[in-house]
């Protein structure tokens, strides 16, 4: 998302804007400061009352004060996992529309996020239009199917991530289950997801 996109005049779908409703509170939790500020400004131009947090602790604290109607939560934060923020929101409010963002997208964490109550899952960098569409998606609406299927490298990476999450992020146990050397697994986990 560029400054140019934010500065551009946004033509917002009237149905989607109406769907935001009277409670337009939005909490965005992300430890990437520039991205957080750009997304917050873009969501404000679309009609949301935005609060921001750059850590799990700050996100949970803001949730305790005012549980939001909408939330955008990054999974990987400097002080922990964004799933903790999702759990905190769900403890206080069960009607919150939660969208999960991550630069380390994988199926296992997507499934966990959905089980905790997220309504959508977007890979970073997501633009403001994608986030807005996900937040205002009506119940029963389905996301479009991607045109290109996952590559074999991506499928392998997703499988490794799923086993890693099943092993509660224990590298040694994951390597044992995958019959893989621990250092090889660490190198794979340190890399970005293949396309």
Q: Running along the chain, 195 residues long, what does each successive block of 10 average in pLDDT?
A: 42 54 89 88 91 93 93 86 89 89 66 77 78 78 56 78 83 93 90 73
| This prediction's pTM | 0.66
- Distance (Å, whole) CA 129 – CA 40: 12
3-state secondary structure the chain: CCHHHHHCCCCCCHHHHHHHCCCCEEEEECCCHHHHHHHHHHHHHCCCEEEEECCHHHHHHHHHHCCCCEEEEECEECCEECHHHHHHHHHHCCCCEEEEEECCCCHHHHHHHHHHCEEEEEECCCCHHHHHHHHCCCCCCCCCCCCCCCCHHHHHHHHHHHHHHHCCCCHHHHHHHHCCCHHHHHHHHHCCCCC
Please report whether residue 143 resides in a domain.
no
Tell me what pLDDT residue 107 has. 63
Tell me what pLDDT residue 19 has. 66
Please report whether residue 147 resides in a domain.
no
Tell me what pLDDT residue 76 has. 80
Domain range for residue 169? 152-190
Please report whether residue 97 resides in a domain.
yes
Same domain, 48 and 75: yes
Same domain, 54 and 114: yes
Tell me what pLDDT residue 57 has. 93
Same domain, 97 and 169: no
> Are 1 and 125 spatial neighbours (Cβ–Cβ below 8 Å)?
yes
Tell me what pLDDT residue 77 has. 83
Same domain, 125 and 186: no
């Amino acid at each position: 998302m560029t400054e140019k996109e934010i500065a551009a005049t946004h033509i917002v779908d009237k149905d989607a804007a109406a769907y935001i409703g009277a409670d337009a509170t939005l909490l965005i939790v992300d430890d990437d400061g520039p991205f957080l500020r750009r997304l917050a400004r873009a969501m404000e131009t679309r009609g949301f009352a935005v609060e921001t947090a750059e850590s799990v602790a700050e996100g949970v604290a803001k949730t305790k004060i005012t549980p939001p109607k909408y939330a955008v939560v990054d999974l990987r934060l400097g002080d922990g996992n964004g799933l903790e923020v999702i759990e905190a929101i769900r403890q206080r409010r069960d009607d919150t529309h939660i969208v999960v963002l991550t630069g380390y997208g994988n199926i296992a964490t997507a499934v966990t996020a959905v089980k905790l109550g997220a309504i959508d899952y977007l890979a970073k960098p997501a633009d403001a239009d994608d986030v807005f569409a996900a937040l205002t998606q009506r119940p029963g609406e389905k996301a479009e199917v991607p045109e290109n299927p996952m590559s074999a490298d991506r499928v392998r990476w997703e499988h490794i991530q799923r086993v890693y999450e099943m092993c509660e992020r224990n590298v040694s146990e994951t390597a044992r289950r995958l019959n893989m050397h621990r250092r090889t697994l660490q190198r794979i986990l340190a890399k970005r997801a293949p396309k």
